[in-house]
Chains A and B, each alone.
Chain A
Amino acid sequence: MKDKITSDLMRPVFETGAKYYLTVTVLAGIVLWGLFAWIYQLTFGLGVSGMKNSVAWGLYITNFVFFIGISHAGTLVSAILRLTNAEWRRPITRIAETVAVFALFLGGIQIIFDLGHPDRVLDVIIYGRYQSPLLWDITCIGIYLMSCIFYLYLPLIPDIAALRDNLPVNIPGWRRKFYHKLSIGWVGSEKQRRYLHKVLAVMAVAIIPIAVSVHTVVSWVFGMTLRPMWHSTIFGPYFVTGALYSGIATVIIAMAVMRKAYNLGSYMKSIHFDNLGKLLILMVCLWFYFIFSEFLTTGYGTFLYELKVFHSKVSGEFAPIFWGMVSCMAAAFFLLLFRKRLGVIGATTLASVFVNVGMWLERFTIIVPSLTKPLQEGYKAGLYQPTWVEWSITLGSFAGFALALSIFYKLFPVVSIWEEKEEEDIPQVVKRIETYLPSEETG
């Protein structure tokens, strides 16, 4: 009694190929290697990283900002598109929401890697002081994580119920129980549907300001200090823009991967990539606008301390990273501009890879150069050279992110089945379009 959409989208959940096991094994191997590096660091101390007194924050904080940034995809793509009734969102929302949740987890863990005393992490809550921007971070990220999990779970309930009702015979008992428990008695009645739509609408509105607050306070961790080129009012919107930018790019990459892996070409069509590509062009323009404002204001001025950081980025020791970032973004821009000629899906995906590499480099160039040039430099000197420990933990985090997503998409459908199937919406959409058109009545 399964229709085509249901069977198409459910097949990957129940049928597992050798390639999947290979992918999971490789990813788990990288995660284990990262775990080993972390244990090594715990044993010998943070000194095994490249961080030193002159550069107290390095790759871990870079990853933290990057991952928290990625998590904004979930809100934008899912919540904003849901609110504006953008019908093309249907195959994308699930991916966006999962990316948000797992990116938040991975971002939060980075702080634990970075602490000198990870065993005292609870002290932040027990003795927490609200003057510290770190407390703002913990509050906002905590609320955002809970809302993201809720926002992922809500539209998942009808799908879990569908899975529960369509389980093949040979499925192990724990999975049967798992879906049964998680579906919390969903039968798809009129009342349940009404409630679901209501709660989803409320959540979609509520989650947007929470998401904006999250990356704003992440930027304020830097903005509230007196460091040159950190102490800037532009940081809040600048970080939020960058976050949405890399978040959309990550959603595109995840879509391209899942499309290939699960053979979902007829669901994630080039129109979806094209539309997301348009959003990405908007964000890349905004990003260039922000970075131009930031660097013009700093470079035009004569403020000694800021100029030092400015020159180290533009022409000094950090120039390769800075210009690498700019060229990544320029490459992404031109790929997106000519995406129709180059093949929409390929060009958009490649541009997204460039965007994410560029954004990671951006986080790095924001954090490290300002640390090497304090206001009143003391005895500390030396550049930052990340060690194998930091690279391993970074690689392990990215692998962990991919692993979490691949396991999740093995347990749950990667595309929201019930939202794809909402055929009853079609007459509603027609009716809605009619309201956009000029009416015959007097207006």
Chain B
Amino acid sequence: MKKQEKKKVGRRNLLKLGSMGIAALAATEAVKRIQATEKIITAKRKMAMVIDLRRCYGCHACAVSCKSENGVNLGAFRSWVNQVEIGKYPYFKRYFLPRQCNHCDRPPCIKVCPTGATYKREDGVVLINKDRCIGCRYCMTACPYDARSFVWHRRSVTGGRGWRTLERYESLDFPARRYGVVDKCDLCVHRIDKGLVPACVNTCPAEARIIGDLQDPNNEVTKIVSTRAVSVLYSDANTGPHVFYRGLHIDVAEKAVEVGPAMQSISSDRSAAQNI
């Protein structure tokens, strides 16, 4: 009788200890995971881009070169140009606003990602691990800059999109076209890691774009950002964007939403392409 009681108590204690141990393990694991992702990145390199809007004349070459470099899916852009008309005839002007992922310091997209598929590299570039992304598109709703897109169409068994066969452009394979995951600007990491500049910077005929390392005090980008009047989009969000604009008209920043005629035609092309 006595022996039995002893045994019972032992089992209960074991259960207690075990559950406490599991809880402690879970807690430390949670803390570790939070620390790992919230840690402030201090690396040798910190990539940033400066776009001089006084030079930009709206040729959309950056958007085109980005699409051909990365093979961005039909209907999506990693880099694009908004245009806004401000004022009334005869005193008005058309402004251009090249846009892309801002590679924020405190990216809202990374915060909400449930699997850690989107992450910040040591040098500040925000990337997507396409093998980890579950395609919940939470990051798309969280991004204040509307910079993310999704690959909606799966290449079907017939090798086409739905019942339709693919256009030649679509039939090529690119990581940006992988079905069911989110895609966005990766600052052309495959190029910058080899010491080249991103495709948009390379192609800009007005030399409105420069890319550089903010940690290097002698870099052109660092000099501009620290000594000139630069601004970022929607600074109220306090996300710490790393795409800086020179000569950003305040109304352009706010009204970039009113899509100009050229973009409208692109949008309707896009929706026509999607509706096929």
Binding site for B on A (CB under 8 A): 43-49, 51-53, 56-57, 111, 114-117, 120-121, 123-124, 127-135, 138, 221, 224-227, 304, 308, 371, 374-382
User: Which chain B residues in 97-155 approach chain A with CB under 8 Å?
Assistant: 99, 108, 111-116, 132-138, 140-147, 149-154
Asked whether, in the complex, the Cβ of B112 is within 8 Å of the Cβ of A380, the reply is no
With A52-B152, A375-B234, A378-B80 known to touch, is A129 a contact of B37 (CB < 8 Å)?
Answer: yes
Q: Given contacts A46-B180, A226-B237, A382-B267, are A132 and B138 in contact (CB under 8 A)? A: yes
- A366 to B137 Cα, complex, angstroms: 17
Question: Does B153 lie within 8 Å of A47, measured CB to CB?
Answer: yes
Which residues of the partner chain A approach B113 to less than 8 Å between Cβ atoms? 129, 132
A43 touches B132 (CB 8 A): no
B133 proximity list for chain A (CB < 8 A): 116-117, 120
Interface: B264 (CB within 8 A): yes
A123 to B147, CA, bound (A): 24
B233 beta carbon closer than 8 Å to chain A: yes
User: Which 7 pairs across A and B sit closest by C-beta, in order of nearness?
Assistant: A116-B135, A116-B180, A45-B154, A47-B152, A378-B146, A47-B153, A377-B257
CB distance from A364 to the nearest CB of B (A): 15
What residues of chain B lie closer than 8 Å to A124, measured between beta carbons? 114-115, 134
Residue pair A134, B274 in contact (C-beta under 8 Å)? no
Contact between B234 and A53, CB atoms less than 8 A apart = no
Interface centre among A53, A227, A308 (most CB of B within 10 A): A53
Mind listing 6 A-B residue pairs with CB under 8 Å? Answer: A114-B136, A132-B114, A377-B259, A378-B77, A378-B82, A379-B82
Inter-subunit contact A44/B156 (CB<8 Å): yes
Q: Which residues of B contact A221 (CB under 8 A)?
A: 138
A53 touches B99 (CB 8 A): no
CB within 8 Å of A: which B9-38 residues = 30, 33-34, 37-38
Contacts of A135 in B (CB 8 A): 114
Cross-chain contact A45 with B33 (CB below 8 angstroms): no
Given contacts A46-B152, A115-B180, A378-B77, 10 further A-B contacts (CB under 8 A): A44-B154, A52-B274, A53-B152, A111-B136, A116-B180, A131-B37, A134-B138, A226-B144, A374-B146, A377-B146
The answer to whether B140 and A44 touch across the interface, beta carbons within 8 angstroms, is no
Q: Which of A57, A128, A131, A138 contacts B112 (CB 8 A)?
A: A131
Quick one: which of A117, A133, A371 contacts B180, CB cutoff 8 A? A117
Please name the residue on chain B nearest to A371 by beta carbon. Answer: B141
Residues of B with C-beta under 8 A to A225? 108, 112, 141-142
Bound CA–CA A129/B116 (angstroms): 7
Q: B271 in the interface, Cβ–Cβ < 8 Å?
A: yes
Interface residues in B26-53 by Cβ distance below 8 A to A read: 30, 33-34, 37-38
- The answer to whether residues A117 and B146 also contact, given A225-B108, A226-B108 and a CB cut-off of 8 A, is no
Q: How far is the CA of A148 from the CA of B156 in the complex (A)?
A: 41
- State the CA gap A402–B70 with chains docked (Å): 48
CB-nearest residue of chain B relative to A41?
B154
Interface of A is mostly: loop
With A and B bound together, what is the CA distance between A405 and B9 in angstroms?
44
Interface of B is mostly: loop
1/0 contact string of B203-235 vs chain A (CB within 8 Å): 000000000000000000000000000000110
Residues of B contacting A48 with CB < 8 Å?
A: 162
B76 contacts the other chain (CB 8 A): yes
Q: Are A47 and B161 in contact (CB under 8 A)?
A: yes
**Residues in chain B near residue A51, CB distance under 8 A:** 152
Closest to A380 in B: B146
Check if B112 sits within 8 Å of A56, measured CB to CB: no
**Does A53 lie within 8 Å of B150, measured CB to CB?**
yes
Cα distance, A49 to B267, chains bound together (Å): 19
Given contacts A43-B154, A116-B180, A375-B145, contact A130 B30 (CB under 8 A): yes
By the criterion CB–CB under 8 Å, are A56 and B256 in contact? Answer: no
Chain B residues whose C-beta falls within 8 Å of the C-beta of A115 in the assembled complex: 134-136, 180
**Chain A, Cβ-Cβ closest to B110:** A131
Task: Check if B150 sits within 8 Å of A378, measured CB to CB.
Answer: no
Contact call A45/B135, Cβ cutoff below 8 A = no
Q: Is the CB of A378 within 8 A of B135?
A: no
Q: Which residue of A lies closest to B154 (CB)?
A: A45
CA distance A135 to B75 in the complex (A): 31
B112, B144, B237, B257: the one within 8 Å of A134 (CB): B112
B248 within 8 A of A: no
One digit per residue, 1 when the CB lies within 8 angstroms of any chain A CB and 0 when it does not, for chain B 46-62 equals: 00000000000000000
B254 within 8 A of A: yes
> How many Å lie between the Cα of A57 and that of B182 in the bound state?
13
Instruction: Give the residue among B76, B144, B156 with the most A Cβ atoms within 10 A.
Output: B144
Instruction: Find chain A residues with CB under 8 A from B77 CB.
Output: 378-379
Contact A378/B147 with A53-B140, A114-B136, A225-B108 known, Cβ cut-off 8 Å: yes
Q: Which residue of A lies closest to B263 (CB)?
A: A379
Complex Cα spacing A44 to B267, Å = 23
B145, chain A: closest CB distance, angstroms: 5
Task: Tell me whether A376 and B154 are in contact in the complex, defined as CB-CB below 8 angstroms, given that A53-B149, A115-B134, A127-B132 are known contacts.
Answer: no
B114 touches A134 (CB 8 A): yes
Least CB distance, A219 to chain B, in whole angstroms: 14
**Cβ of B192 under 8 Å from chain A:** no
Q: Is B266's beta carbon under 8 Å from chain A?
A: yes
- Pick the residue among B33, B38, B153, B181 that contacts A117 (CB under 8 A): B181
Known A44-B162, A46-B152, A226-B108; judge A127-B116 contact (CB<8 A): yes
Which chain B residues border A116 with CB–CB below 8 Å?
Answer: 133-137, 150-151, 179-182
- Contact of B34 (CB < 8 Å), options: A47, A57, A130, A133: A130
| Chain A residues whose CB sits within 8 angstroms of the CB of B144 once the complex forms | 226, 374-376
- A residues near B147, Cβ cutoff 8 Å: 378
- Using Cβ atoms and an 8 Å threshold, which residues of chain A touch B153? 44-45, 47
What CA separation (Å) do A178 and B181 show in the bound complex? 44
B114 contacts which of A49, A53, A128, A374 (Cβ < 8 Å)? A128
CA distance A138 to B138 in the complex (A): 14
